[in-house]
Amino acid sequence: MRSITTLLPVAALWRKRARLPDSWLPFPFGVIHILSAEQALEYGVVDEVIDR
């Protein structure tokens, strides 16, 4: 199992680069968040959503 110290740099990256909900960070080990295209855009994970 990963320690919290190895997860903190990842959380810092996401805090700096995206607008994820505070309750998501730091990411608990084994927790997966699945985003819709609209959520990814809202949270700053992607720059653009392209319809095909």
User: d(Cα 23, Cα 37) in Å, to the nearest integer?
Assistant: 20
Higher pLDDT, 43 or 52: 43
According to the model, what pLDDT value does residue 41 have? 95
pLDDT of 52 > 90? The answer is no
The sign of the dihedral angle between the CA atoms of 29, 23, 18, 3 is: negative
According to the model, what pLDDT value does residue 33 have? 86
According to the model, what pLDDT value does residue 46 have? 93
Q: What is the pLDDT of residues 2-39, one digit of tens each?
A: 555 555 677 788 888 889 888 887 777 888 889 999 99
